[in-house]
Structure 1
Amino acid sequence: MSTTAPTPIPFSAEEISSEGLKPGEYDEIVQRLGRHPNRSELGMFGVMWSEHCCYKNSRPLLKQFPTEGPRILVGPGENAGVVDVGHGQRLVFKIESHNHPSAVEPFQGAATGVGGILRDIFTMGARPIAALNALRFGTLDDPNTRRIFSGVVSGISHYGNCFGVPTVGGEIYFDGAYAGNPLVNAMAIGLMETEEIVKSGASGIGNPVLYVGSTTGRDGMGGASFASAELTDESEADRPAVQVGDPFLEKSLVEACLEAFKTGAVVAAQDMGAAGITCSTSEMAVNGGVGIELDLDKVPVRETGMVPYEYLLSESQERMLFVGEKGREQELIDIFERWGLHAVVAGEVIPDPIVRILFQGEVAAEVPASALADNTPLYEREVLAEPPAYAQTAWAWQESSLPDCTAAGLDGQPWNDVMLALLSTLTIASKQWVYNQYDHQVQNNTIMLPGGADAAILRLRPLEGDTGSSSNSGVAATTDCNPRYVYLNPYEGGLAAVAEAARNLSCVGAEPIAVTDNLNFGSPEKPVGYWQLAEACRGLADGCREFNTPVTGGNVSLYNETVDADGDPQPIYPTPVVGMVGVIDDLDQICGQSWQNSGDQIYLLGTPLGDSTDGTVTLGASEYLKVIHGQVAGHPPKVNIALELKVQAACRHGIRQGWITAAHDCAEGGVAIALAESAIGGNLGATITLPDTEQRYDALLFAEGGARIIVTVAPVHRAVWETYLNAQLNDQWSVIGTVATANTPLTIQTSQSESLINLAVATMNDSWRYAIERALDA
């Protein structure tokens, strides 16, 4: 057998750039190999040294994340994180991005994003039990955004519904900053079915390497590199870099994989996601400290005439790589064939720590595994010594510079009009048009339906033979990030994303335990872009430490930029999405956000109305400031960690004691919008009385921040509840009103009984519930 033939001359600068590599990186490749790479090897380095795969700009920043804790069983470095949720149950979860594919081919881009994250879950030996998604789009007055939005939602629903996993939660923001570069972050959750957690490190010299699942084609070529470059007008030509998924085949794949894992004959497993065969072989080799030899002639294909470069960079979906126990190959092959899937021995584990690729009897590529998947380029960049000019300009904004709402063009009933305008803002409005397309009840474990609470709740079915305390336990999950906060102050915005995620879990009675994150940013090569990334990571790290929610893994998606008409790159808002999970010991002790009973007292936990002297409550960076006054300015709310922890603990305790009947955090739109959403959900009015204060009305109603949660409590529990609050929160709580009946409006009045807002629940519901449909039909 011949050895790899070195390329006689170096590749041109254009050829190097076409693989997403820099000239200096190519020089490093030549030095490591001791020769020039051939075409296949250059492609392997191109995908493995992309930001999407090796995190060359973000790795130094990720090191500050806390990753250990008493519940953490598997942290960063594997296909997904694993946590102990009690009662012998182990939860597997992760979030991944599929942004650029969704920009050029929305349906398949989003669909295969769902398929990929599901494979990350069952590769560990877990059965997927739920999916969530965090989405960002431009404004729906743009026909292209409407196309992307509809296509993404259709792709998510198609794959999840056909596979049979409930899509139970998530979030959607609309802002011009995402025009042309949507964010599609898919999160999945699973429960371990195998006794041992299946990991990716290959071992056992001579053990067979099995290719299992679907066939390999030319779809998804160079997807990892494509995901690590900015979008341009020519990006439509990169449609081949978008994979094509088959959810029905993946349903067979999960069953075959779980059956195979339970035999004990699988030593290691790796999903063929980004970078396909290249990534799976090199990562399995590095993680096991061994080498892998793979013969491409053994790989099942769906197209003819493929060359090694195409095999190695294909990102065809629904494929896996196994290391099996020697002598048990046929046992594994029989399982996959029974499920109608391919399974072939395509290689073996070798002692030399290299990836050797064979094709037509020759060595097509031979590269040190560590050069591809471990000892990859690393860029430790300087962080700006002071905030960039745009931030300093924004921070100079003063609340006192705002006119009153009538000067914003709202006549007649100004505060009613502001309320309805905010309720119909697409970021705040109901997302029922989206989640009604998802099957959120398949598997019959969904306790709280989408839109019913601040977080999704799932039943944990007890382990076989366990009829004890685990029979009524559950988990909650949420995704969160306010990108405007992060844009204006990346540190506070990152910190706020963790705080809100934990608050949302607390609002359903769940104890937050762990995080997976998806860091969506522009170019790190630009000083402002790197400052945003570095400061946001610092905020996330501090938040995860303070809330005791270690990071188990996630995804970094950089170079999210489009090129404007003048040829200038326009980055998205920095968007570090936090996916957080929590535990619920008793599903009888949960609650949603909708008011339940007339006569219940309405409490505001956290910073009281009228108190905004410390910057924790502000109109800066608010939805009100953007929608009503057209300004993106000011400091976002400053997170008060100590108050957050106390407020969230009080909320969880009240729910577990059965005192609280509804809980809803105050996020975009402030207290007034939170009250309206709870009223709409329960179809019950209320009378809210504001305190006697000199603070301006818009700040009382629509300022954001303050670790605030609105809860309702039945009168019978009022005394014991308030005694607890006095001990727990001191003066950081207040009674603000009473839930009324279905036939009464939501009234918000001053301490002198002057009505500021007086709206029928049906009127608010119409503005809020159908805003997306109206925008799509416009």
Structure 2
Amino acid sequence: MGEARSSGMRKAGRMILMPENLPPKIYQDLGLTDYEYERIVSILGRQPNYLELSMFSVRWSEHCSYKSSQKALRDFPTEGKRVIQGPGENAGIFSIGNGLAIAMKIESHNHPSAVEPYQGAATGVGGIIRDIFAMGARPIANLNSLRFGPLDRPKVRYLLEGVVAGIGGYSNCVGIPTIGGEVYFEDCYEANPLVNAMCVGLVKTDTIIKSGARGIGNKLILIGSATGRDGIHGATFASDELDESSEERRPSVQVGDPFTEKLVMEACLELVERGLLVSLQDLGAAGLTSSSSEMAAKGGVGLEIDISRVPLRGEGMQPFEIMISESQERMLAVAEPDKVEEITKVCDRWGIRAAVIGQVTEDGILRVVNESQTLAEIPARALSQEVPLRNLEVRRPAYLDNLHHYPLPSLESEKDLSQHMLELLASPNLCSRQWVYRQYDQLVETNTIGLPGADAGVVRIKGTHKALAFKIDGNGRYCYLDPFAGGQIAVAEAARNLVCRGAQPVAMTDCLNFGNPEKPEIYWQFVECMRGMSQACRVLGIPVVSGNVSFYNENFGEPIYPTPTVGMAGLIEDMRWCTTPEFKDEGDLVVLLGETHQDMGGSEYLKLFHDLIAGQPPALDLDLEKRVHLCCLEAIRAGLLRSAHDCSEGGLAVAVAESCILGGLGATVNIQEEHKQTVALFSESQSRIVVSLKEEDLLHLEEIGRRHKVPVKVIGMVGGDRLTMGKVIHLTVTEMKKVWEDTLESIMRI
């Protein structure tokens, strides 16, 4: 619906549109509530026109404004000795010394991927990459977290195949290694998959650039692709539940061009390096509306945009389409007038557009004009920072009473645990993900240390002795059973995985995936997860530097599990400390740091063999968790450990089996007599790490354990060609490796 141009009044030589005669309640079609509309009228002091309504609708959407989550997010610790930039910018930044820093961010692209998996995933990757180089940082690694329904359903396999191809197609073309990730399968994600993309970049601390516009009279420059109709109302679409009409929303899914992204990235990084820009902002959700209002509000200035100067690739585009289009591969920059010519030359050399589309003003107004005609005038701060926050009701879900008190089956009579072990290794939630990561380029830029499949991905920092480990992790099943405990575990397990690679956890980003927050039970899940995550971050000393919230992940009213995804970074001060999970040599001792308890609730074992998701998730003692981390890191830095591997889903048996498979060596392992055999093998107790070391180093490790008050128990020895665990598991490494490696690829061939 376009704006009428026949009536108006003059102001300062420019025509200002009078309010239009819009259909009653049309704002509801744009996702605005009665209260929000009344607030808009109060802000403007008049009725808005359709363009202004469209701008408010996308900027005040849940996806862009966080109007339901801002209050709960305030409890996250966001400061630390290494933190340079916390939440509020395109990406968070933390220092790693040597005048260098890391920019880090994770975001969701769930709904677009549900209706158009290839482009939905590809543009999710493209958007998160732009968030990183918008800070002046060169992207050095990508990760992703994916969740789908059961793989025996053709639609799920179609979604998985398209999403993985989209991620690989975009990342590979831009030339950024994908070094890690996770993939899980549960019924609740069948029609609403989760596609969370994470990117990290390296930046010199003296070249960091931010998004706040500054300098009255400075020019506003649109860099990159032309603007089309793809992604119209994409932010609004991301704030809706999926239903039978969702397939009709394909026009709300953007179309990506990774080759253009590469050129835009290189051009922007050169512009930042040469000091030609005042500020820089990615055009993501809500397009020009969101980026320009954020830049103006952060800088305390106004912006004037002349849409007649915006390069277009859609014929007859209406002003509202231009302002809310989510066309990809675009950046918005502010520069001093005398720098414009040089900026244009740089962009020309890289083969991309640089169009001056406006300027910085002093009145705090985001003004949209078409040559001499004013189309919209909105206080920038109102769009960006004055969305009415929601006070939502919370209510503990009734289902928890049944699940927590559900009688778990007796596991004493479980037979043929060797066969159970093979079936667990073949479970889609535990088997190798090599079918996925073989489609990603992990080695481009030649900084990756080791291939995906270890506890965390690692990249070296050229010119230093340092490396960085990155992990993306979460467990929706635990959060479904107990959101508080599940939130804690998501943080603790990500940190534990970094520790297993020899890295000190230093900073975190998160992507918080939940159902409809207007349902009190869903909002309770969200609040409890945030409370658990915040507590874990504080105890473990890990600040949150950036993040994303994705609500309305439901299909026909059925929500996904509450699924907070944690992306975490760890610093390895000396690359010689980089540790891997595979067993190394015959005769090495196998040692368990931590203790096994009867934690079977929410386990993969109960789901696979009893089709049961019930009970309490594993208990977590955060103080013990921290001590286990310190113990393991000290042992690594002392040169004691030959391997280290997190013990989590699938329990001790699966952790040891993976170390055998990856190292091509067997092991003989004793089972703790104080537990039932099944519990000892497959309990998913937290705060445990399986390590191996030379026998002569055991006393030193035990002394470190005593100082940190961490249980250190020898449970076996590396050697032979088979894994023997007590009297109940006898499997060759070859047969374990075959089912572990072949399962996912076999399923995807169907």
Residue type of the alignment partner of 2:438 = N
Whether 1:402 aligns to 2:410 is yes
CA contact (8 A) 1:166 1:439 kept: yes
SS at match of 1:446: coil
Counterpart for residue 564 of structure 2: 576
Whether 1:669 aligns to 2:670 is no
Find 1:12's aligned residue among 24, 30, 38. Answer: 24
Whether 1:719 aligns to 2:699 is yes
Q: What per-residue deviation string (whole Å, max 9, x for no partner) do you get for residues 645-687 of structure 1?
A: 1111111111111110111111111111101111111111111
SS at match of 2:331: strand
Counterpart for residue 710 of structure 1: 690
Matches of 2:214 and 2:308, distance apart in 1:
23
Residue type of the alignment partner of 1:505 = L
Q: Please report the TM-score for the alignment, with normalisation by the length of structure 1.
A: 0.93
Find 1:389's aligned residue among 374, 398, 421. Answer: 398
Counterpart for residue 770 of structure 1: 742
CA contact (8 A) 1:405 1:415 kept: no
Matches of 1:188 and 1:664, distance apart in 2:
24
Find 1:518's aligned residue among 511, 521, 531. Answer: 511
Counterpart for residue 438 of structure 1: 440
Counterpart for residue 457 of structure 2: 456
Find 1:635's aligned residue among 583, 597, 616. Answer: 616
How far 1:718 moved relative to its partner?
2.0
Counterpart for residue 734 of structure 1: 713
Matches of 2:719 and 2:544, distance apart in 1:
43
Whether 1:586 aligns to 2:542 is no
Residue type of the alignment partner of 1:602 = V
CA contact (8 A) 1:127 1:193 kept: no
Q: What per-residue deviation string (whole Å, max 9, x for no partner) do you get for residues 623-662 of structure 1?
A: 1111111111011012111111111111111111111011
Whether 1:626 aligns to 2:596 is no
Matches of 1:405 and 1:202, distance apart in 2:
68
CA contact (8 A) 1:194 1:261 kept: no
Matches of 1:436 and 1:640, distance apart in 2:
37
Residue type of the alignment partner of 2:410 = L
How far 1:430 moved relative to its partner?
0.4
How far 1:175 moved relative to its partner?
0.6
Matches of 2:294 and 2:15, distance apart in 1:
23
Whether 1:596 aligns to 2:584 is yes
SS at match of 1:618: coil
CA contact (8 A) 1:6 1:35 kept: no
How far 1:12 moved relative to its partner?
2.9
CA contact (8 A) 2:671 2:677 kept: no
Matches of 1:337 and 1:346, distance apart in 2:
17
Q: What per-residue deviation string (whole Å, max 9, x for no partner) do you get for residues 493-533 of structure 1?
A: 00000000110000011000010000000000001100000
Whether 1:658 aligns to 2:639 is yes
Residue type of the alignment partner of 2:459 = L
Q: Please report the TM-score for the alignment, with normalisation by the length of structure 2.
A: 0.97
SS at match of 1:157: helix
Counterpart for residue 409 of structure 1: none
Residue type of the alignment partner of 1:740 = G
How far 1:756 moved relative to its partner?
0.6
Residue type of the alignment partner of 1:183 = L
Q: What per-residue deviation string (whole Å, max 9, x for no partner) do you get for residues 557-594 of structure 1?
A: 0000001xxxxx00001111010001001111111111
Residue type of the alignment partner of 2:422 = L
Q: What per-residue deviation string (whole Å, max 9, x for no partner) do you get for residues 157-214 of structure 1?
A: 0000000000000111111110111111000010015733100100111111111111
Residue type of the alignment partner of 2:54 = G
Residue type of the alignment partner of 2:700 = V
How far 1:337 moved relative to its partner?
1.0
Whether 1:553 aligns to 2:532 is no
How far 1:8 moved relative to its partner?
4.3
Matches of 1:490 and 1:505, distance apart in 2:
23
How far 1:345 moved relative to its partner?
1.1
How far 1:237 moved relative to its partner?
0.9
Counterpart for residue 466 of structure 1: none
> What is the aligned residue count?
738
SS at match of 1:294: strand
SS at match of 2:226: coil
CA contact (8 A) 1:174 1:427 kept: yes
Matches of 1:521 and 1:663, distance apart in 2:
33
Find 2:660's aligned residue among 665, 679, 692. Answer: 679
Matches of 2:590 and 2:23, distance apart in 1:
69
Residue type of the alignment partner of 1:219 = D
Give matches, 1:268-667, under 5 Å: 268-384=279-395, 387-399=396-408, 401-402=409-410, 404=412, 406=414, 414-451=416-453, 453-462=454-463, 471-563=464-556, 569-607=557-595, 609=596, 612=597, 617-667=598-648
Give matches, 1:197-212, under 5 Å: 197-212=208-223
CA contact (8 A) 1:80 1:124 kept: yes
How far 1:3 moved relative to its partner?
4.1
Q: What per-residue deviation string (whole Å, max 9, x for no partner) do you get for residues 375-416 of structure 1?
A: 1120122322xx3211111111344x435564xxxxxx6201
CA contact (8 A) 1:204 1:349 kept: yes
Find 2:235's aligned residue among 224, 242, 246. Answer: 224
SS at match of 1:592: coil
Whether 1:691 aligns to 2:672 is yes
Matches of 1:367 and 1:354, distance apart in 2:
6
Distance of aligned partners of 1:131 and 1:405 in 2 relative to their CA distance in 1, 3 Å threshold: farther
Counterpart for residue 257 of structure 1: 268
Residue type of the alignment partner of 1:52 = H
CA contact (8 A) 2:99 2:205 kept: no
Counterpart for residue 182 of structure 2: 171
Counterpart for residue 128 of structure 2: 117
Return 5+ residue gaps in structure 1 as ranges.
Answer: 407-412, 463-470, 564-568, 750-754
SS at match of 1:588: helix
Residue type of the alignment partner of 2:115 = V
CA contact (8 A) 2:64 2:285 kept: yes
Counterpart for residue 10 of structure 2: none
CA contact (8 A) 1:194 1:262 kept: no
Residue type of the alignment partner of 2:103 = V
Whether 1:72 aligns to 2:92 is no
Matches of 1:295 and 1:87, distance apart in 2:
43
How far 1:39 moved relative to its partner?
1.1
CA contact (8 A) 2:510 2:565 kept: yes
Matches of 1:691 and 1:515, distance apart in 2:
35
How far 1:261 moved relative to its partner?
1.1
Matches of 2:126 and 2:65, distance apart in 1:
21
Residue type of the alignment partner of 1:457 = V
SS at match of 2:213: coil
Q: What per-residue deviation string (whole Å, max 9, x for no partner) do you get for residues 389-446 of structure 1?
A: 11111111344x435564xxxxxx6201111111111111100000000000000000
Residue type of the alignment partner of 1:668 = E
Residue type of the alignment partner of 1:522 = G
CA contact (8 A) 1:429 1:772 kept: yes
CA contact (8 A) 1:520 1:556 kept: yes
How far 1:10 moved relative to its partner?
5.0
Give matches, 1:87-98, under 5 Å: 87-98=98-109
CA contact (8 A) 1:126 1:194 kept: no
Moved more, 431-440 or 317-326: 317-326
Counterpart for residue 722 of structure 2: 745
